[in-house]
Structure 1
Amino acid sequence: MPIATSNGRRLNYELQGNGDAVLMFASSLGTSLELWDRQTEALAPHFQVLRYDYRGHGRSFPSGEAASVADFAADALAVMDAAGVGRAHFIGLSLGGMIGQHLALHAPGRLLSLTLCATAAYLPPPDAWEQRARNAVVQGMEPFIEISRGRWFTPHLLASAPDVAEGALAQLAHVDPASYAVACRVIRDFDLRSRVSEIRLPVQLIAGEQDPSTPPAALEGLRAEIPGATMTILSPAAHLLNLERPDEVSRLIASFARRHHPDQSAAQPADA
């Protein structure tokens, strides 16, 4: 498996697909690069797809070292460098969207466009994230599985496609608790409310109407601040909206990347 190194940390990634345009995916807290399997299947015939695992998630090496969103953004850039990717259309969900916002402000030359899914410029309350981090270290990942089941998915998905939910929850179960705690504290300290209006990249926002973690109002705040940003609300969809509405999300990603790629011939329409 390909490995990128970021300040001594080893990060698992995958690059697959065809075409000059690269789509880079960053996942939600507690999930692995497998979160994007359906999008990869739909989009890899037309784009290169770059996915990676956060520290202690999936097949990346664990790290309990304190970190900030800047450190997680540096990990993303290290993955791009290891994969030989200069610029990419960045797609981030939840924590991945926070990383994308930071990159758009601090490394805009590495991004061509930004798709922000189920995320926010600030996700309070900080005390809750600190408690979650402490619980992970003391209790492990098991207590988070049932909590996440009800926040990640709508009752419709749980009834109609329980295997989809179980697959994502299995990713959560295998996360290194200390690494999970680090990522919780990254979210605890993340606050770009005063700066998102400075983003000058093409931005699209995708929200799940039934998402209790980052409801449409959170993304509406981003839309109001980021010049030219567009927004789509999917229903039924909770937090992991790309699993609940895979075809719609793939189409939105493909269309946006095609529209904002400098060489339109490099990114042909995806039959998604």
Structure 2
Amino acid sequence: MPIAHINQTEIFFVAEGNPEHPAIIFSNSLGTDHGMWQAQAEALANDFYVIRYDTRGHGRSSSPKGPYQLQELGQDVIALLDFLGIAKAHFCGLSMGGVTGQWLGIHASERIEKLVVANTAAKVGTTDGWLTRAEVVRAEGLNTIADSAASRWFSPAFIETQAPVIAALIANLRIQNTEGYASCCESLAAADLRDQIALISSPTLIIAGLYDPVTTTSDASLLQEKIKDSKLAALPAAHISNIEAQKLFTRTLIDFLVA
């Protein structure tokens, strides 16, 4: 099992494709894992060295005692690139992964070739909201969060027609590490990059979901306004747009990377 022992934790990752090809690293959303990027990994593996990892507190990565800081999530990516001997890579993150990507664009631009941030914001939600969720999860577990996740993640039309896909994601959410999930909530509670995102210099693609109730098109527009020469693509999807609008997301991603 590929594990990188970095930053006093264990980060699970999957690397596919030719290491001589341009590298791209994918970062998962809160409550998911590297598997959310399966379709994109399959589409890119012939032409890119594709790395997917489980954010600390998620999947098969370890869940050290939190709360976590956004800086830690970003430094895990840098350390994983070092572990793999990669000097510079493209980065694609969704929601929490997109916040990690923004931190990298601000603080480690020398390691990021092109930056893709999807269904995210410079400030996601509210501080009180995230701290309350962390408290509830520690007290009650993840079942309550899982019961309502589909309505946050997907549009009603997708929920109606793609029940097996959604059921698998929800089942995976239920078995995530409770403490790890809560600690990531606390990292999002503290994360506010609104005054820093103008420092991002890597070519940046912002992907929004037209039906996203969590990180809206207005959030995406704010990112585009502040990140110089960034591009914005709005897809017919809710929050997990790489799954709901899978083919369009992948095509948009590839077109940006090879441009």
TM-score normalised per structure 1: 0.92
Following superposition, the deviation at residue 197 of structure 1 comes to 1.0
> RMSD across aligned C-alpha pairs, in angstroms?
1.1
Q: Distance in 1 between matches of 2:208 and 2:4?
A: 31
Equivalent residue number for residue 248 of structure 1: 248
Matched residue SS, 1:10: strand
User: Matched residues in 1 for 2:253 and 2:87: separation?
Assistant: 19
Q: Tell whether the 8 Å contact from 1:118 to 1:214 is kept in structure 2 after alignment.
A: yes
Separation (CA, whole Å) in 2 of partners of 1:64 and 1:168: 25
SS state of the match for residue 173, structure 2?
helix
1:8 is matched with 8
| More deviation, 130-139/16-25 | 16-25
Q: Which amino acid aligns with 2:216?
A: P
Cα shift at 1:59 = 0.8
Q: Which runs of 4+ in 1 moved over 3 A?
A: none
Q: Which amino acid aligns with 1:159?
A: E
Query: Which residue of structure 1 lines up, in the alignment, with residue 117 of structure 2?
Result: 116
For residues 39-78 of structure 1, what are the structure 2 equivalents within 5 Å? 39-78=40-79
Looking at structure 2, the residues matched to 192 and 240 of structure 1 have their Cα atoms a distance apart, in angstroms, of 21
2:239 pairs with 1:239:
yes
Distance apart, 1:84 and its partner CA: 2.2
- Helix, strand or coil at the partner of 2:137: helix
Once residues 96 and 64 of structure 1 are traced to their aligned partners in structure 2, the CA distance between those partners, rounded to angstroms, is: 20
In structure 1, C-alpha distance between the alignment counterparts of 2:238 and 2:124, rounded to whole Å: 16
After superposition, the C-alpha distances for 1:42-71 in whole angstroms (9 at most, x for unaligned) are: 111221110000122111112222221001
% same residue = 34
Map 1:148-227 to 2 at 5 A.
148-227=149-228
1:94 aligned partner, one-letter code: S
Conserved? CA contact 1:27–1:96, under 8 Å:
yes
- SS of corresponding position for 2:51: strand
Report the Cα offset of residue 100 of structure 1: 0.6
1:12-71 C-alpha deviation (Å, 9 max, x unpaired):
001101351111100101100000011111111221110000122111112222221001
CA distance in 1 between partners of 2:140 and 2:59 (Å)? 19
Counterparts of 2:61 and 2:201 in 1: how far apart (Å)?
A: 32
Unaligned runs of 5+ in 2: none
Aligned AA for 1:244? E
Give the secondary-structure state (helix, strand or coil) at the position aligned to 2:12. strand
Match of 1:266 in 2: none
| Contact 2:57/2:184 (<8 A) preserved | no
- Aligned to 1:91, the other structure's residue is in SS state strand
Deviations 1:131-174 (Å, cap 9, x if unpaired)?
00011111111111122110101111112111111122122111
Q: Distance in 1 between matches of 2:155 and 2:147?
A: 13
Displacement of 1:257 in angstroms is 1.3
TM-superposed CA distance for 1:86, in Å, is: 1.6
Give the whole-Å Cα distance in 2 for the aligned partners of 1:223 and 1:109. Answer: 21
Match of 1:22 in 2: 23
Number of residue pairs aligned between Structure 1 and Structure 2: 258
In 1, are the aligned partners of 2:119 and 2:239 still within 8 Å (CA)? yes
Name 1:268's counterpart in structure 2. none
Which structure 1 residue ranges, 5 or more long, are not aligned?
260-272
2:192 and 2:225 mapped to 1: Cα distance? 16
C-alpha distance in structure 1 between counterparts of 2:91 and 2:43, whole Å: 17
SS at match of 1:96: helix
Quote how far apart the aligned CAs of 1:7 are: 2.1
Structure 2 length as normaliser, TM-score?
0.97
2:68 is matched by which residue type in structure 1? A
Deviation at 1:124, TM superposition (A): 3.0
